[in-house]
């Protein structure tokens, strides 16, 4: 279970920095060259703590009422990646001088370790091997360990190692790409640099948000090497010197601890104490814990395919990356780029709930619940956002945010995406259906459901007997500010129904006190939710026999996508938004996604026509698109097309298909890969009446299998050409629907269900 | 013919600075206190040259493709308004110290002179009268003359006058009001300060646009006073000293010349030479020319009302202000605030063509043509803008601009207002109908018409047999990015028809060579224009029997405007745009304006229902609204309502009804006042078949009359309760339509037409 690159290509450096980053849900460190990247070699040097942000102003050409004045952005942390190696008078600078004889970059997904290996000959002929191992500890989230090993092949002499912790850092910017920050800004100010035993500590604070960061580093130099620590105004430098003989290996171990004030009342104190504990333990201690935690992860999560080795790696990479990206506390979630880069500025989007949440829900409900906790944490900010947007009650979640307030500088494809509030409600409801955890609904879920339902009731209006929602933007950002977006309305319908249902359940169970205290929700309000949900307007075109993406879409100018030059994709980088809005063109699945999430709203023929129609309009310029088309192609029985989309999704980052993985991995797409397999080929749906499976085998595969968590039970589903086997590996008996038929499976039992004919 | 204020109220200072500014179409100087405004007294110290701009970056929270990166903004010029007066040891500072005993501010619209008169008693009891007269010369546009007179009432002693030309100036900013600039920036850099005979010259350049400005000042100090000129790094200071005895008057004459590089190859040389000439002449020379020019202006322009003295002043003020605001060369037009302030940054909008142009067209066709020349000048920029917006041909005029490129930082109510290109085409066509000037069409008009017609043909598409235009914004900025805005589509229809018609006429007359060379327009294209125009989709609601503002408007949530607190108007300053877009609420006339401009598209009953429907939705938050409702109320026979709206329009700035006249006068509304009278009460329309009048007398008036220019003839229309008299004062016989009937009037003849019964 590993990802490996052996091609030495400095032009790919920034891409590899993303792919081989190390992260643990709290901390992420890009795989930047320890010796630094010379000019001309693309590099985005960075390390991040999930939800550790600064605040900066948003500027507008014309600022209208309610436009957010500031936004949060993830902060590039104190840089601990620097290690410079000198062999006598020659520096190890493989990107700049000498000759690289062999190169290997490895991500070991069973051990949770990233390795950079270089065999190098200096200008003067010294040959060495440098192997750097990195680990972001899964058992001690603040801990990042680097092991820097040098082996001499033909050289004996003095060796110096200079390692730095650099406090003077800025964030990356590209003013011409709306997907990364527009202005390079310094966010971190060094407050104090002090020496510790065999190391030191840099204490910093963010300039505007007032958060604190402490980074402690502890050195175990190679045996026989001297160690000298120097504190500088904004850096810590460790200088080590000693001898190396031909054939000998030496290893520097550097333990770094990142503690922030969002999790620690005294970050400096926490960093010292965690470092002290870590320094007292061998690296192998953390490696063993890492392995154990990953064993359990793979046990409950791994998708296995027989007959497609290459794809297996992509699947592993996707799930591993998600596991390393997901926040595990109530202040953090899972960012669009995880912890692998600064793209989208570390913001959380709907990506989490719609694309990634199902994977955790069905494999690690506790982690899934933690993602929901985050949404409950920021509910007050969502209420405030709703007021700014003109709603007298309810909660409108910010389209992109870290701490809760709206961080979008362009509301037509930002705050206007009201569907996010429906997506969040959908996740809470899915959690309830999958876990039956009514206590969580009493504590947090009900409140989020009632507040989002209120938002939709307030945002919509009655017209000719139907309930409508004007002026919103659906998932497809190539149509903005539209009336009655089908996807949004369907989500609003589910939200209002779900809020009423959960509230009534809590009342019946005598568990509604907390919800009532928090929301003052009344029975009249529940009835109003139901009335609006029942009368929800879902635009349908009689002539085409499909649901319209919105009231206007099907009357817009058509666009022949095949006539657009390839280099003009993604269209958003080559066409003014107004031109896009004027055409029947979709950045990504919108109505097609609605047919996946809310499949009972349309019969199969409508879904099929809809799929065909919208597929012709869709550029898949968003990385969130392909997986949805994969799922729906499988749903409609076109397994070859499903496989094409699925493959595109599964390999998107490893192939750098969108050309911007340098800014970070595409976590939503990775969740989409899981969905493509489990909800696509496996036909998984979680509905009010329980768990549904409809497993089909794509052409070319021998079989595949996936584990699932359902209520208290651990399942495994194995799929072959003739049908599937469902096994309950632990927990109690479960009932589910397979191929539309009810099936019971007892613990230890394996039930085979044959694929229905036709 | 004067506007006068006698109330001493420092809180009104900025407002009076706008109302009593002096301008001549090229230069405008706000009426700022010569002695400076102390802290706490609102003041926007400014002087401007029409179309003299600098360039500054536009910043975006998220920048998408095609968003303009820079914008032009009018530049606050070298400040020549400073005169400080010292009586022995006491400074004349009426806004700060002493007692104001009498105060009078006067705009004399016959002489073109503004006067500030203050009788003041110093703390120590010195009583004086200070009278400052200002004139922006209409005969020598670069020339601004100040006469500063001091009369002592009870004091004898030494008097010092210190007058400065200050080169270190910035523009005004308010980050929270989208209607003025968001960031205070310095735009002018002093290059050179040098002394001249009895004066000096400051040469500056703009920081980014590279334009040059030379400001020369020449002093004629009071008799017996010394004069000392000091050049400073960024200023020129003239110090004068002498004696004043009780009862004596002294006068300082300051002649200032503003020459810019948009009009002068060597501005400094031009400023010197104009100043030299002006200094050699007595002020009375320019005063006489000023009077002569204004006599002619009033002769051809003045609206007269019998029985409403107060309103007469407002009418005079409106027309006078327009005359002083209109650019008279091909690089300038008429800005939203004229030359009276920095609101809307000196940009030109559709205001010019739709609201102001008709006044000049019907009274001063040469000036009207000059406004059209400006649009022809910036046609290349409009072509480029169309490319940026995704159109492979045609010209899309920038929503707000000075030199032609788009300066709007928020495209949904900026570039999306495609109707501007139709408005411009409309003005060219109106010019042609009123003047029959085919040569101008051959030279400039045809090219603008063909390029704007191409834009609409390219922007629209065919759907179910009709030609439609998606994703534009109509005049009503409370609904943005809509499909098939009735107003826009009606304008597109006229533009395409007009382009085809004018091109064919030019071909028939053998005058098409220049047009063909410039545009390569083909007969096939003309046919395509006609086909699209004939099939233009004009949304109509069968149930309501009205034209829909756009495809979605009538299905949006309704809004009870009476339930909104008064302090929440204008809504744009209190509600997020998305909330506004979600409701049936209009900032201003949109469909109702279409019914005025394109009245043959709907019968009277449709217009009446439409008027009633949209009136209920309209907040009139735009100053462009009331006059249109006035016109249409008159058209539909509700003269009392027409009068209410008309009065609101006519007195908007003098009453500061929108609370922002401090940022400048509302020129479009002033044009709307003329329209309200002449097109509203007078029923004037210019159509393909000629001049139409339908004069009605509002209740309470004895009579009113207005002059008109039609082809080569000068007309006067006099309206009473029983009908109207039409007189041809000069030129040849004309044919027109009065009350729908054809009428011929010969030179010298007065034709009476009775108001039809019912």
Residue recorded with tokens 């392909």: A626
Tokens of A68: 């957010």
Pick from A160, A236, A252: which is nearest to A199 by CA? A236
Q: Is B607 on the interface with A (CB under 8 A)?
A: no
Is B412 within 8 Å of A481 when comparing Cβ atoms? yes
* Residues B330, B192 within the same domain: no
Q: Looking at residue B755, what DSSP letter applies?
A: P
Does residue B403 belong to any structural domain of this protein? no
Residues B164 and B126 in one domain: yes
Q: Report the sign of the C-alpha dihedral through residues A626, A406, A444, A392, in that order.
A: negative
According to the model, what pLDDT value does residue B176 have? 65
Residues of chain A contacting B390 with CB distance shorter than 8 Å: 575-576, 578-579
Q: At what angle do helices A309-325 and A639-650 cross, to 10 degrees?
A: 50
Last-in-domain residue among A240, A272, A304: A272
| CA atoms of A409 and A175, how far apart (whole Å) | 14
Q: What is the pLDDT of residues B539-576, one digit of tens each?
A: 999 999 999 999 999 999 999 999 999 999 999 999 99
Q: Give bridge partners of residue A745 from the DSSP assignment.
A: A734
The residue annotated as part of the active site, out of B142, B287, B477, B727, is B477
Chain B residues within an 8 Å CB radius of A552: 470, 483, 551-552
Q: Which residues contact B2 (CB under 8 A, 6 or more apart)?
A: B106, B107, B108, B109, B110, B313
The CATH number of the domain holding residue B140 is 2.70.98.40
Torsion, CA B573, CA B578, CA B582, CA B588, rounded to 10? 40
Does residue A545 sit within a domain?
Answer: no
Is residue B544 situated within a structural domain?
no
Do B8 and B43 reside in the same domain of the chain?
yes
Residue A582: the pLDDT is 97
Residues in chain A, overall count: 758
Instruction: Retrieve residue B291's tokens.
Output: 């009077």
CA angle A354, A356, A361 (to 5 degrees): 95
Q: Residue B168 falls within a domain, yes or no? A: yes
Give the per-residue pLDDT at B172.
Answer: 85
Confidence of residue B310 (pLDDT cuts 50, 70, 90): confident
Query: Which tokens is B206 given?
Result: 């703009």
Going by their DSSP bridges, the two strands B127-136 and B143-152 should be labelled as: antiparallel
Per-residue CA distances from B270 to B26, B142, B263 (Å): 15, 9, 10
Mean pLDDT of B589-613: 97
B682 and B716 housed in the same domain? yes
The model's pLDDT over B388-446, given as tens digits with 9 standing for 90+, comes to: 999 999 999 999 999 999 999 999 999 999 999 999 999 999 999 999 999 999 999 99
> In the annotation, is A477 catalytic?
yes
Residue B533 lies in a domain: no
Q: Which among A272, A302, A326 is the end of a domain?
A: A272
Report the C-alpha gap between B204 and B167 in whole angstroms: 8
Is the per-residue pLDDT at B342 higher than 90?
yes
B328 with B292, same domain?
no
Which H or E element spans position A717? strand A713-720
Q: Are residues B191 and B330 in the same domain?
A: no
Distance of CA A510 to the CA centre of its chain: 37
User: In chain B, what residues touch A461 (CB-CB under 8 Å)?
Assistant: 556-558
Does the distance separating the beta carbons of B176 and A63 come in below 8 Å?
A: yes
pLDDT value for A607: 98
- Give residue A739's domain range: 706-754
Q: Are residues B334 and B195 in the same domain?
A: no
Number of domains in chain B: 2
Q: What is the mean pLDDT of residues B169-173?
A: 88
Token pair 């090993």 is found at A149
Whether the CB of A560 is below 8 Å from some CB of chain B: the reply is: no
| pLDDT value of residue B536 | 98
DSSP string, B52-114: -EEEEE---SSPPTT--SEEEEEPPP-EEEEEEEEETTEE--TTTSSEEEEEEEEEETTTTEE
Task: Using DSSP, state whether A572 is helix, strand or coil.
Answer: helix
Residues facing residue B4 across a β-bridge: B106
CA angle A196, A197, A202 (to 5 degrees): 20
Kindly state whether residues B749 and B725 are assigned to the same domain: yes
Looking at residue A178, what is its pLDDT?
Answer: 63
Evaluate whether residue B102 is within a structural domain: yes
- Please check whether residues B316 and B230 belong to one and the same domain: no
Q: Does A576 touch chain B (CB under 8 A)?
A: yes
Dihedral (Cα; B646, B650, B653, B657), 10-degree rounding: -30
Cis-peptide into A570, omega within 30 deg? yes
b/e B727-744 (16+ beta carbons within 10 angstroms → b): bbeeeeebebbbbeeebe
In this structure, are B255 and B315 located in the same domain?
A: no
Beta carbons within 10 angstroms of residue A189's beta carbon: 13
Residue of B nearest to A481 (CA): B481
Q: A576, B481: Cβ pair inside 8 Å?
A: no
Spell out which residues of chain A touch residue B572, defining contact as CB-CB under 8 Å: 64-65
Cα distances from A548 to residues A490, A611, B26, B469, in angstroms, run 12, 12, 54, 19
Does residue B367 belong to any structural domain of this protein?
A: no
- The whole model's pTM is what? 0.94
Higher-pLDDT residue of B292 and B60 is: B292
Supply B536's token pair. 């233009």
Check if the beta carbon of residue B3 is closer than 8 Å to that of residue B19. Answer: yes
Inter-residue long-range contacts of B750-756, CB under 8 Å, 24+ positions, other chains counted: B750/B725, B750/B726, B751/B725, B751/B726, B751/B727, B752/B723, B752/B724, B752/B725, B753/B723, B753/B724, B753/B725, B753/B726, B754/B722, B754/B723, B755/B695, B755/B696, B755/B721, B755/B722, B755/B723, B755/B724
The answer to whether the bond into A316 is cis (omega within 30° of 0) is no
Provide the token pair at A669.
């797409």
Q: How far is residue B169's CA from residue B77's CA, in Å, rounded to a whole number?
A: 7
The answer to whether residue B616 is domain-embedded is no
Same domain, B239 and B317: no
% of residues, chain B, pLDDT over 90: 96
Query: Is this complex scored with an ipTM above 0.90?
Result: yes
Which residues, given as ranges, of chain A have pLDDT below 70?
A: 175-184, 758
- Pair B163, B262 in one domain: yes
Cβ pair B551:A556 closer than 8 A: no
Domain boundary among A272, A292, A313: A272
* pLDDT tens profile A399-432: 999 999 999 999 999 999 999 999 999 999 999 9
How many contacts, defined by CB atoms under 8 Å, are there between A and B? 170
Chain B residues 424-463 within an 8 A CB cutoff of chain A: 459-461, 463
List, in sequence order, the alpha helices (H) in A267-406.
267-279, 283-301, 309-325, 351, 357-363, 365-377, 379-388
């Amino acid at each position: 279970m590993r990802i490996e690159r052996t091609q030495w290509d400095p032009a790919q450096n920034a891409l590899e920095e993303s792919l081989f980053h190390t992260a643990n849900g709290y901390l992420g460190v890009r795989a930047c060259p320890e010796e630094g990247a010379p000019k001309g070699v693309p590099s985005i040097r960075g390390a991040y703590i999930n939800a550790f942000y600064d605040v900066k102003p948003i500027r507008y050409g014309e600022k209208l009422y309610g436009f957010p004045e500031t936004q949060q952005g993830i902060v590039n942390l104190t840089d601990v990646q620097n290690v410079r190696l000198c062999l006598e008078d020659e520096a190890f600078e493989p990107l700049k001088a000498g000759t690289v004889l062999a190169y290997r970059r490895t991500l070991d997904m069973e051990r949770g370790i990233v390795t950079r290996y270089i065999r190098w000959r200096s200008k003067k002929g010294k040959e060495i091997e440098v192997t750097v191992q990195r680990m972001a500890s899964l058992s001690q989230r603040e801990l990042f360990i680097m092991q820097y090993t040098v082996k001499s092949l033909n050289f004996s002499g003095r060796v110096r190692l200079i390692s730095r912790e650099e406090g003077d850092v800025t964030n990356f910017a590209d003013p011409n790409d709306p997907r990364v920050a527009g202005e390079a800004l310094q966010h971190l100010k060094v407050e104090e640099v002090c020496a510790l035993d065999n190391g030191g500590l840099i204490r910093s604070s963010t300039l505007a948000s007032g958060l604190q960061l402490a980074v402690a580093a502890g050195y175990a130099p190679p045996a026989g090497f001297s160690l000298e620590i120097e504190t500088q105004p904004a850096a810590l430098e460790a200088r080590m010197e000693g001898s190396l003989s031909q054939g000998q290996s030496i290893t520097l171990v550097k333990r770094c601890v990142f503690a922030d004030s969002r999790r620690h009342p005294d970050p400096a104190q926490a960093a010292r104490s965690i470092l002290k504990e870590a320094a007292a333990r061998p690296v192998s201690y953390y490696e063993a814990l890492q392995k154990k935690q990953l064993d359990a992860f793979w046990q409950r999560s791994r998708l296995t395919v027989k007959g497609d080795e290459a794809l297996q790696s992509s699947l592993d990479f996707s799930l591993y990356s998600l596991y390393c990206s997901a926040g595990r506390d109530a202040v953090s979630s899972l960012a669009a780029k995880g912890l692998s880069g600064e793209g989208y500025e570390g913001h959380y989007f709907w990506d989490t709930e719609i694309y990634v949440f199902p994977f955790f829900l069905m494999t690690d409900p506790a982690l899934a619940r933690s993602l929901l906790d985050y949404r409950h944490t920021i509910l007050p900010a969502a209420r405030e956002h709703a007021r700014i947007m003109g709603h007298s009650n309810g909660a409108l979640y910010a389209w992109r945010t870290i701490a809760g307030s709206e961080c979008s500088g362009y509301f037509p494809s930002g705050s206007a995406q009201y569907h996010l509030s429906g997506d969040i409600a959908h996740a809470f409801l899915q959690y309830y259906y999958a876990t039956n955890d009514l206590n969580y609904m009493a504590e947090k879920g009900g409140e989020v459901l009632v507040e989002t339902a209120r938002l939709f009731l307030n945002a919509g209006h009655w017209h000719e007997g139907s309930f409508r929602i004007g002026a919103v933007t659906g998932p497809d950002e190539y149509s903005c500010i539209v009336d009655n977006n089908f996807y949004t309305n369907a989500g609003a319908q589910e939200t209002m129904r779900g809020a009423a249902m959960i509230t009534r359940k809590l009342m019946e169970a005598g568990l509604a006190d907390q919800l009532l205290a928090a929301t003052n929700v009344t029975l009249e309000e529940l009835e109003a939710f139901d009335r609006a949900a029942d009368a929800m307007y879902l635009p349908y075109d009689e002539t085409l026999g499909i649901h319209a993406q919105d009231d206007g879409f099907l009357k817009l100018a058509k666009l022949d996508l095949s006539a657009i030059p390839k280099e003009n994709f993604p269209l958003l980088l080559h066409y003014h938004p107004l031109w896009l809005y004027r055409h029947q063109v979709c950045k990504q699945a919108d109505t097609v996604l609605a047919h996946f999430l809310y499949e009972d709203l349309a019969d199969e023929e409508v879904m099929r026509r809809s799929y065909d129609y919208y597929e012709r309009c869709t550029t898949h310029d968003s990385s969130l698109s392909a997986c949805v088309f994969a799922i729906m192609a499988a749903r409609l029985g076109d397994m070859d097309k499903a496989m094409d989309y699925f493959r595109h999704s599964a390999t998107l980052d490893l192939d750098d298909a969108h050309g911007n993985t340098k800014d970070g991995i595409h976590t939503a797409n990775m969740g989409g890969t899981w969905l493509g397999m489990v909800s696509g080929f496996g036909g998984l749906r979680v509905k009010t009446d329980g768990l549904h499976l409809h497993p089909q085998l794509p052409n070319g595969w021998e079989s595949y299998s996936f584990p699932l968590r359902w209520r208290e039970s651990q399942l495994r589903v194995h799929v072959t050409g003739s049908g599937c086997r469902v096994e309950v590996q632990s927990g109690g008996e479960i009932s589910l629907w397979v191929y539309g038929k009810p099936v019971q499976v007892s613990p230890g039992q394996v039930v085979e269900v044959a694929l229905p004919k036709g």
